Chain A
Amino acid sequence: DAKTTQPTSMDCAEGRAANLPCNHSTISGNEYVYWYRQIHSQGPQYIIHGLKNNETNEMASLIITEDRKSSTLILPHATLRDTAVYYCIVRASGAGSYQLTFGKGTKLSVIP
Protein backbone atom coordinates (compact mmCIF):
# COMPACT_ATOMS: atom_id res chain seq x y z
CA ASP A 1 0.00 0.00 0.00
CA ALA A 2 1.10 3.57 -0.74
CA LYS A 3 2.60 5.62 2.06
CA THR A 4 0.83 8.68 3.40
CA THR A 5 2.13 11.89 4.96
CA GLN A 6 0.12 13.92 7.43
CA PRO A 7 0.92 16.87 9.72
CA THR A 8 1.70 15.80 13.25
CA SER A 9 -0.86 18.09 14.87
CA MET A 10 -3.46 20.76 14.17
CA ASP A 11 -5.72 23.03 16.19
CA CYS A 12 -9.23 24.08 15.23
CA ALA A 13 -11.67 26.44 16.93
CA GLU A 14 -14.92 24.89 18.04
CA GLY A 15 -17.67 25.42 15.46
CA ARG A 16 -15.23 26.07 12.63
CA ALA A 17 -14.38 23.68 9.80
CA ALA A 18 -11.41 21.40 10.39
CA ASN A 19 -9.44 20.65 7.22
CA LEU A 20 -7.00 17.78 7.58
CA PRO A 21 -4.59 17.24 4.69
CA CYS A 22 -2.96 14.04 3.54
CA ASN A 23 -0.33 13.46 0.87
CA HIS A 24 -0.25 10.12 -0.95
CA SER A 25 1.84 10.91 -4.02
CA THR A 26 2.63 7.23 -4.77
CA ILE A 27 -1.00 6.11 -4.82
CA SER A 28 -1.85 3.66 -7.57
CA GLY A 29 -5.00 3.31 -9.63
CA ASN A 30 -6.72 0.65 -7.54
CA GLU A 31 -6.01 2.20 -4.16
CA TYR A 32 -8.68 3.90 -2.09
CA VAL A 33 -8.18 6.68 0.45
CA TYR A 34 -9.62 5.83 3.87
CA TRP A 35 -9.90 8.00 6.96
CA TYR A 36 -10.23 6.69 10.50
CA ARG A 37 -9.95 8.49 13.81
CA GLN A 38 -9.06 7.38 17.30
CA ILE A 39 -10.37 9.22 20.30
CA HIS A 40 -8.22 8.81 23.39
CA SER A 41 -8.52 5.35 24.96
CA GLN A 42 -10.99 4.12 22.34
CA GLY A 43 -10.71 1.87 19.30
CA PRO A 44 -10.34 3.47 15.85
CA GLN A 45 -13.53 4.68 14.17
CA TYR A 46 -14.18 4.59 10.43
CA ILE A 47 -15.02 8.01 8.98
CA ILE A 48 -15.11 7.93 5.18
CA HIS A 49 -13.37 6.59 2.10
CA GLY A 50 -13.14 7.38 -1.62
CA LEU A 51 -11.43 6.49 -4.87
CA LYS A 52 -11.62 9.47 -7.24
CA ASN A 53 -14.74 11.48 -6.57
CA ASN A 54 -15.38 13.67 -3.57
CA GLU A 55 -17.46 11.94 -0.92
CA THR A 56 -19.70 13.18 1.87
CA ASN A 57 -21.45 11.44 4.72
CA GLU A 58 -22.96 12.44 8.03
CA MET A 59 -19.55 12.74 9.65
CA ALA A 60 -17.33 14.43 7.10
CA SER A 61 -16.43 15.26 3.52
CA LEU A 62 -13.48 13.88 1.59
CA ILE A 63 -11.92 15.96 -1.17
CA ILE A 64 -9.49 14.10 -3.45
CA THR A 65 -7.37 16.08 -5.94
CA GLU A 66 -7.73 15.28 -9.62
CA ASP A 67 -4.30 13.65 -9.75
CA ARG A 68 -5.20 11.71 -6.56
CA LYS A 69 -1.87 12.55 -4.97
CA SER A 70 -3.46 14.28 -2.01
CA SER A 71 -6.73 14.57 -0.17
CA THR A 72 -8.40 16.63 2.55
CA LEU A 73 -10.80 15.47 5.23
CA ILE A 74 -13.24 18.18 6.21
CA LEU A 75 -15.19 18.21 9.47
CA PRO A 76 -17.64 21.02 8.70
CA HIS A 77 -18.41 22.16 12.25
CA ALA A 78 -15.85 20.79 14.66
CA THR A 79 -16.93 20.05 18.22
CA LEU A 80 -14.86 19.23 21.29
CA ARG A 81 -15.76 15.56 20.78
CA ASP A 82 -13.90 15.63 17.47
CA THR A 83 -10.58 15.94 19.32
CA ALA A 84 -8.76 12.79 18.23
CA VAL A 85 -5.93 11.40 16.12
CA TYR A 86 -6.97 11.22 12.48
CA TYR A 87 -5.41 8.59 10.22
CA CYS A 88 -5.27 8.74 6.43
CA ILE A 89 -4.77 5.29 4.90
CA VAL A 90 -4.32 4.24 1.30
CA ARG A 91 -5.53 0.74 0.69
CA ALA A 92 -5.87 -1.40 -2.42
CA SER A 93 -9.13 -3.08 -3.33
CA GLY A 94 -7.77 -6.47 -4.29
CA ALA A 95 -7.38 -9.70 -2.38
CA GLY A 96 -4.93 -9.54 0.50
CA SER A 97 -5.56 -5.85 1.03
CA TYR A 98 -7.67 -6.14 4.16
CA GLN A 99 -4.99 -5.01 6.59
CA LEU A 100 -5.16 -1.44 7.85
CA THR A 101 -1.74 0.12 8.27
CA PHE A 102 -1.94 3.18 10.46
CA GLY A 103 0.87 5.72 10.55
CA LYS A 104 1.24 8.39 13.22
CA GLY A 105 -1.77 10.42 12.00
CA THR A 106 -2.71 14.00 12.81
CA LYS A 107 -3.61 14.91 16.36
CA LEU A 108 -6.52 17.35 16.03
CA SER A 109 -7.27 19.50 19.05
CA VAL A 110 -10.58 21.35 18.97
CA ILE A 111 -10.29 24.47 21.10
CA PRO A 112 -13.33 25.98 22.90
Chain B
Amino acid sequence: GAGVSQSPSNKVTEKGKDVELRCDPISGHTALYWYRQSLGQGLEFLIYFQGNSAPDKSGLPSDRFSAERTGGSVSTLTIQRTQQEDSAVYLCASSTSGLNEQFFGPGTRLTVL
Protein backbone atom coordinates (compact mmCIF):
# COMPACT_ATOMS: atom_id res chain seq x y z
CA GLY B 1 0.00 0.00 0.00
CA ALA B 2 0.94 3.65 -0.21
CA GLY B 3 3.36 4.94 2.38
CA VAL B 4 3.77 8.41 3.81
CA SER B 5 4.28 10.98 1.08
CA GLN B 6 5.72 14.46 1.35
CA SER B 7 5.90 17.38 -1.00
CA PRO B 8 7.86 19.06 -2.34
CA SER B 9 10.88 16.77 -2.21
CA ASN B 10 13.18 19.78 -2.45
CA LYS B 11 12.55 23.44 -1.73
CA VAL B 12 14.99 26.29 -2.19
CA THR B 13 13.88 29.64 -0.86
CA GLU B 14 15.30 33.02 -0.02
CA LYS B 15 15.78 34.20 3.53
CA GLY B 16 12.66 35.93 4.80
CA LYS B 17 10.19 34.05 2.61
CA ASP B 18 7.45 31.78 3.95
CA VAL B 19 7.32 28.09 3.01
CA GLU B 20 4.71 25.35 3.32
CA LEU B 21 5.60 21.68 3.50
CA ARG B 22 2.96 19.00 3.02
CA CYS B 23 2.58 15.51 4.48
CA ASP B 24 0.10 12.81 3.45
CA PRO B 25 0.10 10.10 6.13
CA ILE B 26 -0.77 6.46 5.65
CA SER B 27 -4.54 6.07 5.41
CA GLY B 28 -6.06 5.23 8.77
CA HIS B 29 -3.09 6.38 10.83
CA THR B 30 -4.32 8.65 13.59
CA ALA B 31 -0.93 9.86 14.78
CA LEU B 32 1.23 12.21 12.73
CA TYR B 33 4.65 13.64 13.59
CA TRP B 34 7.00 16.23 12.16
CA TYR B 35 10.75 16.04 12.74
CA ARG B 36 13.69 17.81 11.21
CA GLN B 37 17.18 16.55 10.57
CA SER B 38 20.05 18.93 10.04
CA LEU B 39 23.10 17.78 8.10
CA GLY B 40 24.86 14.97 9.96
CA GLN B 41 22.58 15.25 12.98
CA GLY B 42 19.91 13.11 14.57
CA LEU B 43 16.18 13.74 14.44
CA GLU B 44 14.71 16.73 16.21
CA PHE B 45 11.05 16.38 17.21
CA LEU B 46 8.85 19.29 16.17
CA ILE B 47 5.15 18.52 16.63
CA TYR B 48 2.74 15.61 17.18
CA PHE B 49 -0.92 15.23 16.22
CA GLN B 50 -3.13 12.46 17.62
CA GLY B 51 -6.69 12.23 16.40
CA ASN B 52 -8.78 15.21 17.50
CA SER B 53 -6.61 15.98 20.51
CA ALA B 54 -4.72 19.24 20.83
CA PRO B 55 -1.32 18.83 19.18
CA ASP B 56 1.90 18.68 21.16
CA LYS B 57 3.84 21.67 19.84
CA SER B 58 6.61 21.47 22.41
CA GLY B 59 9.33 20.82 19.83
CA LEU B 60 8.67 23.81 17.59
CA PRO B 61 11.85 25.93 17.75
CA SER B 62 10.18 29.34 17.42
CA ASP B 63 6.86 31.03 16.75
CA ARG B 64 7.80 31.20 13.08
CA PHE B 65 6.93 27.51 12.91
CA SER B 66 3.34 26.26 12.85
CA ALA B 67 1.52 23.16 11.67
CA GLU B 68 -2.02 22.15 10.90
CA ARG B 69 -3.69 18.85 10.31
CA THR B 70 -6.95 19.10 8.42
CA GLY B 71 -9.64 16.46 8.71
CA GLY B 72 -7.35 14.18 10.65
CA SER B 73 -5.32 13.42 7.55
CA VAL B 74 -3.08 15.77 5.56
CA SER B 75 -0.74 18.03 7.50
CA THR B 76 1.02 21.24 6.53
CA LEU B 77 4.11 22.60 8.27
CA THR B 78 4.55 26.33 7.72
CA ILE B 79 7.75 28.25 8.35
CA GLN B 80 7.40 32.02 8.22
CA ARG B 81 10.24 34.44 7.52
CA THR B 82 12.69 31.61 6.90
CA GLN B 83 16.24 31.87 8.21
CA GLN B 84 19.37 30.08 7.00
CA GLU B 85 19.42 27.94 10.15
CA ASP B 86 16.05 26.51 9.07
CA SER B 87 17.83 24.62 6.30
CA ALA B 88 17.34 20.90 7.00
CA VAL B 89 15.42 17.84 5.90
CA TYR B 90 11.89 17.95 7.29
CA LEU B 91 10.51 14.49 7.93
CA CYS B 92 6.92 13.47 8.50
CA ALA B 93 5.88 10.16 10.08
CA SER B 94 2.59 8.50 10.92
CA SER B 95 1.50 5.60 13.09
CA THR B 96 -1.66 3.84 14.16
CA SER B 97 -1.28 5.36 17.61
CA GLY B 98 1.25 7.35 19.55
CA LEU B 99 2.86 4.25 20.95
CA ASN B 100 3.37 2.19 17.83
CA GLU B 101 6.12 2.13 15.26
CA GLN B 102 6.36 5.23 13.09
CA PHE B 103 6.47 5.11 9.32
CA PHE B 104 8.44 7.93 7.76
CA GLY B 105 8.08 9.77 4.51
CA PRO B 106 11.04 10.57 2.24
CA GLY B 107 11.36 14.07 3.65
CA THR B 108 11.50 17.58 2.19
CA ARG B 109 14.97 19.08 1.84
CA LEU B 110 14.68 22.78 2.60
CA THR B 111 17.50 25.11 1.64
CA VAL B 112 17.31 28.75 2.72
CA LEU B 113 19.71 30.98 0.80
Residues of A at the B interface (CB closer than 8 Å) are 34, 42-46, 49, 87, 93, 95-105
Offer 6 A-B interface pairs, CB within 8 angstroms, sorted by A.
A43-B4, A44-B91, A87-B42, A99-B48, A101-B43, A104-B42
Q: A43 touching B91 by the CB < 8 A rule? A: yes
Which residues of B1-37 are within 8 A (CB) of A?
A: 4, 31, 33, 35
Using known A-B contacts A98-B33, A98-B48, determine if residue A44 contacts B104 with beta carbons closer than 8 Å. yes
Using known A-B contacts A43-B91, A44-B91, determine if residue A100 contacts B35 with beta carbons closer than 8 Å. yes
Q: B104 touching A43 by the CB < 8 A rule? A: yes
1/0 per residue, CB under 8 A from A, across B30-61: the answer is: 01010100000011010010100000100100
Q: Chain A interface secondary structure, helix, strand, loop or mixed?
A: loop
- B93 at the A interface (CB under 8 A): yes
Bound together, the chains give a CA A42 to CA B99 distance in angstroms of 23
Number of B residues with CB within 8 Å of any CB on chain A: 23
Known: A98-B33, A101-B45. 10 other contacts (CB 8 A): A42-B106, A44-B43, A49-B101, A95-B98, A98-B50, A98-B56, A99-B45, A99-B48, A100-B102, A105-B42
B50 cross-chain contacts in A, Cβ below 8 A: 98
Q: In the complex, what's the smallest C-beta–C-beta distance from A34 to chain B, in angstroms?
A: 7
Bound together, the chains give a CA A101 to CA B37 distance in angstroms of 11
Identify B99's interface contact among A46, A98, A104, A105, CB under 8 A.
Answer: A98
Q: B104 touching A98 by the CB < 8 A rule? A: no
Smallest Cβ-Cβ distance to B43: which chain A residue = A102
Pairs of residues from A and B, 8 with the lowest C-beta to C-beta distance, nearest first: A43-B104, A98-B98, A102-B42, A46-B101, A102-B43, A99-B45, A44-B104, A43-B107
B101 cross-chain contacts in A, Cβ below 8 A: 34, 46, 49
